[in-house]
Structure 1
Amino acid sequence: MTERKSVRPAEAAALLGVCRETVYVLMRSGRLRSIKAGRARLIPLTAIDELLSADEEFAA
């Protein structure tokens, strides 16, 4: 089985500990990268790591 490289917004929300709407706000603002695959919106796991790293740098 291959390792997943992206998640859907609901899964990203669970990983980040926020609601799904917050994930959509982050995507619209450009703070969380996402891609469109057909009708699905996918968020690369690297984008979640980048968001968390950026927030850590901002807080420091």
Structure 2
Amino acid sequence: MSEQPLTVPPDMRLFKVEDAMNLLSLGRNTIFELIRSGRLRSVKEGRSRLIPGAAITEYIALLEREAS
């Protein structure tokens, strides 16, 4: 019996800072500044800083609201 791979929706994933940089087309310093300012939520697991997929979606929505 073959098991199907688990598919996790993007908003349920945790992204490394480098992945968030690529998804948002932003630099490392900008990502950490957004985290410090509270505009981009993040979590810590051990020594790693991770960004929830939902936080990326919320940040994009925030940018869209600010643009209108």
Q: Give the alignment's TM-score, normalised by structure 1.
A: 0.92
Q: After superposition, what is the alpha-carbon deviation per residue over 1:7-58, rounded to whole angstroms, capped at 9, x for unaligned?
A: 0111101000011111001000000000011111110010000000011001
RMSD of the alignment, in Å? Answer: 1.1
Could you tell me which runs of 5 or more consecutive residues in structure 2 were left unpaired when the two chains were aligned: 1-5
Structure 2 length normalisation: TM-score? Answer: 0.82
* 1:40 paired to 2:48: yes
Q: How many residue pairs align between the two structures?
A: 60
Q: Which of these two proteins has the greater Rg computed from alpha carbons?
A: 2
Consecutive unaligned residues in structure 1, runs of 5 or more: none
